[in-house]
Structure 1
Amino acid sequence: MLLADHTHRPVLVNAVVRESDMLLAVFSAKQRRLYEAELLRARRESEQVVEIVRRSSDAIIRFSAEGLIESWNNGAQQIFGYRIEECRGRRFDCLFAPDVLADVSEGISNLRRGDEFMLDIMGLRASGEQVDISMSLTPHMEAPGTLVAFSAIIRDITARKRTEQALIQNEKLASVGRLASSIAHEINNPLEAVTNLLYILASSVTDPKQKELVDTAQEELARVSHIATHTLRFHKQSSRRTVVDLRALLESVLGLYRARLANAGVEAVVKCESGLTLRCYEGELRQILVNLISNAFDAMRSGGRLSVRVREVSAASIAGGRIHILVADTGTGMPPDILSRVFEPFFSTKGIGGTGLGLWIARDLVTKNDGTISIRTSTTSQRSGTACMLSFKNSGSENSSP
């Protein structure tokens, strides 16, 4: 372009030809370079945003106004398990559990008024597995207030939910500790008085049968005292481990239930080799067995068979092998929804008579004694029952370290 001072300047000219004239838009080369630089910057920013969306671990999904999936990022594929080719054009229903679809539909209705919507709900993976998700819906509006599309940002909150459940359970544990301390303190004094009275009575009774009854009462009272001071404070270990004769221990525990088992028509079968030992905290192992046998008895009030088997299993990777203790009954068994919760504190199927702490305490004590516990159960009419397997490392000599 020739300027008024007869100098030349490079320019960019855009021309639009009309019937009677022509419109020219003239840009200096500097403006053009700025314009091109701005276009390049905007393109790069757009590409960065696209890459962020694509690589986000959160699901970022665009839906049409009718609720059909239009776009889908990697995070959505990770959470739901669908590829974009599998879900494009499908309704939003496929992403959510059936029982929450009404809540999602209500949220989408709110979007038509221009309102955003947030909700923690249950999503549905391609495999049919349910997953905890947090969802935020944002409307895309055009004048005059017409919903043309909406987007969803969805996050997998399974880990968060587990953390929340752990915090709730920890609070329950704290409650158990406070309750246990209170109970132990309140009942120890009357137990001491009854113990002293039985001691005086034992010294004055001469009839052998009466003396046997008094001795039994003292043994049972000692067990009550043990439960008050030890079982309710299960989280405090004994001072040291000892080598326990397993057959003698089983006979001692079953002796507490023998009369009740006989009255209920329950046959008790014990299989344990003589001389088989386990180095453990004896009081804690006794309490584990008491809890398992008590549960088995409760499941067989109309008769059945209680089997307790102990065997030593060789394991090349563990010096001394393992000790397996099986407590099995032919009771009613448990459905899957009950089995999945048996180790939760305060969960009980026994109504007001159950504390919901027995198996939870048992698992804790098994872990403290370097063991594992597993449960198998069946509710079929011909083969109903439950089997609890305890497995401990067998370090069974006196010289083993505690």
Structure 2
Amino acid sequence: MNLSIMTLDNSPVSTSAIIKVLNEINDQQRSAQDDRQVRLSIHDNSNFRDAAGTISNFIIDIVIINISTIDIDKYKEDCMQLRSIYSFAPIIAITDSNSLPNLNNYNYIGFDDILSIKTITPSTLLRAVSSAIQRSKNYHSFHTSNQRKLINNKLLKLLLEKNDLISVAESACQIINSKSSNSSSSSVSIYNVHDDKIDCIGHAGTTDSDDTIFEYQKEIYTLKHSGKFNDDFDFIKSRIGDRTRFTIPLNNKNSTFAFLKIDTEYGIVHPSEERTYYKDMSDTLSEILLLAQEREHFEQLNQQNTRLIDEMSSAAVGINKHDQVTHWNHQAEIYFGIEKSEAINKRLFHLNIICDWPVIISKLYDSLNNSKTIEKFEVSYKRDSKEKDRILSIAITPFTDPNGSFIGYLLLMDDITEKKHLEKAHQQSMYLESIGQLSAGIAHEINTPMQYISDNLNFLKDSFNDVARAITHIKKSLLDKTLDEAKLDSIYEEADIEYLNKELPLAFSQTTDGVERVCSIVKAMKEYSHPNSEEKVATNINHCIESTITISKHTWKYHSEMEVILDPDLPDVMCHPGPFNEVILNIVVNAADAIKERVEKNENIDKGKIT
């Protein structure tokens, strides 16, 4: 192994003697064939200033101070400062006195051993040095472990405070800085590195200058994109002026998202423990910052969702798995007259809401059992007991946690009372409009039979007059006893009785058919114009279809033939007859229009067929 030894002795004679012994150790180790040979590096100093400089520039394993040539009591503060500057290296005192002073007298310095120059040999010095170094390593290993656990415990406690990312980073910097150094010039910073910018999200200790911050940001930006820390953990230790700087990556899986910068005048842990110490710190701090970042992101989303819910035009009510209200937006306050503060954490079914609860509860269970959103359904409700029933449209969405366990519902509700009234008025308006559009055709349909009824009645009137004159003439002739066969034939011929015998039955038949036709149209119009009811009624579907076909005949009779196949045994169906008639009418009219267009374009087609 390699040992770096620093001597502090202002006497050239004793310094030479110490170096001679150390060189003899080196010579013995070089000539030895043992794999366990030790190689020494010697740094001799004659004053504390030079010693402090040596410790700053080299990793020293052990310090040897000649207490015979240096007045320890006079340089007590210097000795203590030397110990604080580099607390990891054991210190062995040597003296030229035969009687060794009590080691306890130097507890304030922390000497590990005291040896006499007069009796010292290479083997005893090497043994003393090796023992001191091993004790120091054991001590610092134990100290580092405790320090690491202490810092980690304090860092982990930050999670319990549930603060935002910046607050967590600031507190983490304060914890690390307070435990990392007692120097007033030390500092700890955390830099969050994005693709396009770098943010200092936490700092404690001495404030860096703007130039220092800028240069460091450029350095870590380059480090992040170099991929240096993506695989195995590593850190950078550098000397910046009179301070040592540690740049420690904070990783999320295999990607670096931030850097921890520790600037300290003195060392924090023994060099042999640095990698383990900083890796453990990096792992813990990375996890804490990522969790804080996720929690902050979740809180932001939760706040956004809460704002969205509050600003929704629908009433939004959130319920947990215990049926307690978790969300109650402003629109819910308006609908139900219950303030948010009065509703939150109360059971929904215990709130004084007048509505069709059995239907809602049934839908909630359906949503839970099927784990699906229940599309909008309608229930009646009242804003107060004196008000008429209103209509509420409700959609139910169940929510589960990442494990699939049910955690609650979200109910979106809209008062559609006015909308329903407007829809009904619009429907009635469209209904009347459709009747208006049919009126011209219906008038034509009625006018045709009425025309031949009128013509036939005129014919019957004239025929009646002719027959009446003939009967009068025959009566007179009978009274005058002048009626003979010739005269009777003359009267028949004048009245055209033979023609009337043939045409009168036809005229009566046509008139009857015309009357029946007009009656059927009027009846169909009456059935089609049946006033709409809010409730479904038992309806003869066959009559509805036949009536609609009758009143729409003018739309299809010139281009189409109508084939109607109805089941005479079809029972009455519960429905709204008005809307049903409209549907049948639209089907017939659309079919007639399509056939008309085809017939007009194709001369080979005489008529289409609607079935």
TM-score band, normalised by the shorter chain?
0.3 to 0.5
Pick the structure with greater CA Rg: 2
TM-score, length basis structure 1: 0.39
TM-score, length basis structure 2: 0.27
Bigger fraction of residues in strand: 1
